[in-house]
A and B are shown apart, each in its own frame.
Chain A
Amino acid sequence: MKIKQRFIHKYSHWVLLSPYIILFCLFILIPVVGAIILSFSYFNAVQPPEFIGLNNYISLLTQDTVFMQKVLPNTIKYALIVGPGGYILSFIFAWMLAQIPKLPRTIIAILIYLPSMTTGVMMSVIWSIIFSGNQLGYLNSFLIGIGLITEPIQWLQSPQYLMTIVIIVSLWSSMGVGFLAMLAGVLNVNQELYDAAYIDGVSNRFQEIIYVTIPSMRPQMLFGAVMAIVNTFTTSGLGVALSGSNPTPQYAAQLIVNHIEDYGFIRYEMGYAAAASVVLLIIVWIASRVSWNLFGEKE
């Protein structure tokens, strides 16, 4: 009993850390390592995995026409617009909000944050009614009403519109935790720095932002960037939810996440899907390195 007590107090930090570490390993670390291992095997969820080396990657990059022609370009286009786009918008809104009094600021900040609380399901309910393909759809009815179109457009089934809609909806829901962090960051910039900057020759708001605001809130900018990356890739399954089918019509809004689900849970080619997962993880990692280089502290 004594020994046990002594152990609990001597190693209290490990006792307190262990629940987090165990769960972290089980559901975050092992899955990531598992994806990397599986990606080198052929695994159909029934027979045990069979080692096939780099074959999955080779066929992903050379034989998978859908992946190279649709999925990868779509993912890159989507990520470049929604990631930096949502991020810049977050900053602009945060910066503007910081310059109005507290009560309206709080109210508007809550309104802007709201959409990020809607989940995939609720998002698809809202937007599928708005973009409904018959004349009862709100957008169709509105456009017919003002005479822009003469017959309803099948928004969510047309390859030429689907991707744009997915991007708009993602941007709409991208003002989340990162946005709040940036708002706090702008509010916390030391006011005297601005005065000092003016004495040193800064002469307008734009220069203020570039030379004072952003450098002072670098840590929050980085946190916001990381959150923007995560948000970009977690909401990327939206195309399937909106169009109601995987693959999406003519692969119009097919992103890597959908491709992984398609191969993993529809065709049961788990090894191949894992290879696609690893490619996605690499993309996420590259994106985070870029933001770290932009906003991180130089060693």
Chain B
Amino acid sequence: MANLRATHINPDKFDKSQIKFFAILIPVAVFMVLPILFIVFHAFKPIDELFAFPPRFFTSRPTLDNFKRLFSATTTSNVPVSRYIFNSLLSTLFSVLFTLWITASAGYVLSKKRFKGKNMLFNINTLALMFVPVAVSIPRFLVIVKLGLIDNFLAHILPILAMPVGLFLVKQFIDQVPDSLIEAAKIDGASDYYILVKIIIPLIKPALSTVAILAFQTSWNNLEASSMFINDETLKTFAFYMNTLASTTGNTVAGQGMAAAASLIMFLPNLILFIILQSRVMNTMMYSGLK
């Protein structure tokens, strides 16, 4: 019967019939990845190669000059780059941890508990999947002012903790944890908190990994807080520094080398995290359906 179909989903081995897909997918992948490779090569070019005419794609004599200049450069207010990186690391760490805890606990309740208003809450969250933060940056700014978070390190963390997409994915994932497991624990006298920490969280690691990646990206790349809520240079993050660098020196060729080096530093953690966790992400995505 299997010979009927034209389509073979998830084949085990290479077959001649797959050549046409490879013929399209490989050029697409190359097109997607070229600009990124280009930044990698650009970051390691010495000055004379940055100026080379005609410009060359590959680096022939790789050097760390751009990184050295990036780290020795200080902003007008004399804040060293390491300080920005430290701020980024700290705010990202807390953002990811808190997001995971908040999403896991809310996801558990929305998935397994019965109470009034549950469906309404989930529907509101589903509607909020469409939320575009840029659209309401002004009232968001006013909320931060009213909360007294201007120039407070928490401004990096609090605004990005509620992640509708994260809650949605986690809730969908918990839906397929068998109810009997939870009921058994309840009969043994376990409280909700115990069930969450000891049973649910270990079982939903794939979904939590996915949320961790998304939260990491949001926080690590977050510009909004540094540029709008924080005036104190020493509390700003690397993403912000990178942005000023790109806009002030991006027009000079030497600046381009530095900007490329900074881009690489911004990008690598995202990449490494994703590669490590990609199978878990794919596992989570199976339950990402919206009905």
Name A residues whose Cβ lies closer than 8 Å to a Cβ of B: 9, 12-13, 16-17, 19-21, 23-24, 26-28, 30-35, 38, 93, 96-102, 104, 106, 108-115, 117-122, 124-130, 135-138, 141, 145, 172, 175, 177, 180-181, 183-189, 191, 194-195, 198-199, 204-205, 208, 213, 217-220, 222-223, 226-227, 229-230, 233-234, 236-237, 244, 257, 260-261, 264-265, 270, 273-274, 277, 280-281, 284-285, 288, 295-297
Interface residues of B in 92-109 (CB under 8 A from A): 101-103, 105-106, 108-109
Partner of B133, one of A20, A119, A175, A234: A234
Interface residues of B in 117-149 (CB under 8 A from A): 121, 125, 128-140, 142-143, 147
Check: B263 CB closer than 8 A to any chain A CB. Answer: yes
Partner of A185, one of B2, B137, B289: B289
Q: A12-B191, A226-B129, A288-B130 are in contact. Are A120 and B289 (CB under 8 A)?
A: no
State in angstroms the CA–CA spacing of A2 and B235 once bound together.
Answer: 43
Smallest distance from the beta carbon of A217 to chain B beta carbons, Å? Answer: 8
Name B residues whose Cβ lies closer than 8 Å to a Cβ of A: 1-2, 4-14, 18, 21-22, 24-26, 28-29, 31-33, 35-36, 38-39, 42, 51, 53-55, 57, 101-103, 105-106, 108-110, 113, 115, 121, 125, 128-140, 142-143, 147, 158-162, 164-165, 167, 191-193, 196, 214, 217, 221, 223, 239, 242-243, 246-247, 250, 253, 256, 259-260, 262-263, 266-267, 270-271, 274-275, 278-279, 281-282, 285-286, 288-291
Partner of B217, one of A26, A96, A117, A183: A117
In the complex, chain B residues whose CB is within 8 Å of the CB of A21: 106, 121
Smallest distance from the beta carbon of A253 to chain B beta carbons, Å? Answer: 15
In the complex, chain B residues whose CB is within 8 Å of the CB of A122: 39, 242, 263, 266-267
Contact between chains at A27 and B288 (CB < 8 Å): no
Contact between chains at B2 and A195 (CB < 8 Å): yes
Q: List 19 A-B contacts (CB under 8 A).
A: A17-B110, A20-B102, A96-B21, A100-B22, A101-B11, A109-B278, A119-B217, A124-B250, A138-B55, A145-B54, A177-B285, A189-B9, A195-B4, A195-B5, A198-B4, A219-B291, A233-B132, A233-B135, A244-B247
Contact between chains at B246 and A125 (CB < 8 Å): yes
Q: Which residue of B lies closest to A112 (CB)?
A: B32
